[in-house]
Chains A and B, each alone.
Chain A
């Protein structure tokens, strides 16, 4: 352990994104995305709208639910303190999942 202690956000995020920890969390998040996407599609069909279209309002609500559930999962699995010890605050922890949500929803809408 030599050299000066220095924190770099890029280093912290890249270490986390390439870790088994993130892979597990991503697995949780994909399940959450599927559940919320299903619920959104169901309400869209009932309202006579295309089920898999990208509707920003509905996507934002779904993403908010997914993030809250993900934070609860992280807490339950005791990963919140571990992530904090990497110097990663909640906004940074949620950012990759927001990008995954948006990317998946746009891709689904384009393919539908």
Chain B
């Protein structure tokens, strides 16, 4: 459970990430997706509830402590240094985690622009570079907030390919996004969050998208009834 002031944003929310699978979290704006992810990665403390890693309850951890445990968070806001070229940042992270920066750059499809600093990248290039640096941490689990937001179709496809490849390498991928096309294309599992409560949508590819968002209440965020 979590509150902002008197407003309870999460009631009975649960989400998990499983090794080798891509899990998506969808919900209307303000449904609590980002808050739930931030609790999961230690950026917020829940008022009630717990976070478990490999079945073991973990206390509130800093981002550094989570990285040491193999959990990397990729927020929707830019997070690479603005004054160092991407190649150097990638090499630094790869050196710490014993990854091959060239192989990571190739797999992440960023070789063409790693010699630029992040402010000189487009949104899609930056997102790919951030994913490359996160990958160089050799994570066991990667949590992404809106990885497809504001991207052109080519970069969306590239990010989607990369997330699928990471899952293929055994990484637990969990992301929250509004892009129903990409969710349907790459996700293995889908959690929907509505009014602070989550549910697993079993056969989401054969479920109308409005039901992902309004499966319980049948209402959109303005309170208007929607047809499933």
Is the pair B68, A7 in contact by a Cβ cutoff of 8 Å?
yes
Complex contacts, B70 vs chain A, CB 8 Å: 5
CB distance from B137 to the nearest CB of A (A): 5
CA distance A37 to B96 in the complex (A): 34
> Which of B27-35, B51-59, B78-86 contacts its partner?
B78-86
Q: How large is the interface on B (under 10, 10 to 19, 20 to 34, 35 or more residues)?
A: 35 or more
Cβ-based interface call for A71 (8 A): no
Cβ-based interface call for A46 (8 A): no
> Which of B87-95, B152-160, B212-220 contacts its partner?
B87-95
Is the pair A85, B81 in contact by a Cβ cutoff of 8 Å?
no
CB distance from A39 to the nearest CB of B (A): 26
Complex contacts, A20 vs chain B, CB 8 Å: 84, 88
Is the pair B88, A81 in contact by a Cβ cutoff of 8 Å?
no
Q: How large is the interface on A (under 10, 10 to 19, 20 to 34, 35 or more residues)?
A: 20 to 34
- Which of A7, A16, A24 is close to B92, meaning CB atoms less than 8 Å apart? A16
Is the pair B140, A78 in contact by a Cβ cutoff of 8 Å?
no
Cβ-based interface call for B63 (8 A): yes
Complex contacts, A6 vs chain B, CB 8 Å: 98
- Which of B72, B82, B98, B104 is close to A85, meaning CB atoms less than 8 Å apart? B72
Interface residues of A in 1-25 (CB under 8 A from B): 1, 3, 5-7, 11-12, 15-16, 19-21, 24
Cβ-based interface call for A38 (8 A): no
Cβ-based interface call for A109 (8 A): no
Complex contacts, A24 vs chain B, CB 8 Å: 81, 83-84
Number of A-B contacts (CB under 8 A): 88
CB distance from B61 to the nearest CB of A (A): 10
Cβ-based interface call for B13 (8 A): no
CA distance A24 to B88 in the complex (A): 13
Whether A19 touches B88, Cβ cut-off 8 Å, given contacts A5-B138, A87-B96, is yes
Whether A77 touches B82, Cβ cut-off 8 Å, given contacts A84-B64, A84-B67, is yes
CA distance A15 to B100 in the complex (A): 15
CA distance A86 to B65 in the complex (A): 10
Complex contacts, B73 vs chain A, CB 8 Å: 81
CA distance A33 to B123 in the complex (A): 36
Cβ-based interface call for A41 (8 A): no
Cβ-based interface call for B209 (8 A): no
Complex contacts, B134 vs chain A, CB 8 Å: 85
Is the pair B79, A82 in contact by a Cβ cutoff of 8 Å?
yes
Complex contacts, A44 vs chain B, CB 8 Å: none
Cβ-based interface call for A53 (8 A): no
CB distance from A75 to the nearest CB of B (A): 11
Is the pair B81, A79 in contact by a Cβ cutoff of 8 Å?
yes
- Which of B75, B92, B95, B169 is close to A81, meaning CB atoms less than 8 Å apart? B75
4 closest A-B pairs by beta carbon, nearest first, are A84-B63, A81-B79, A89-B64, A84-B64
- 6 A-B pairs (CB sep. < 8 Å): A6-B98, A81-B73, A82-B79, A82-B92, A84-B62, A89-B64
Residue numbers of B with Cβ under 8 A of A are 62-65, 67-68, 70, 72-73, 75, 78-84, 88-89, 92-93, 95-100, 103-104, 118, 133-134, 137-138, 140, 169
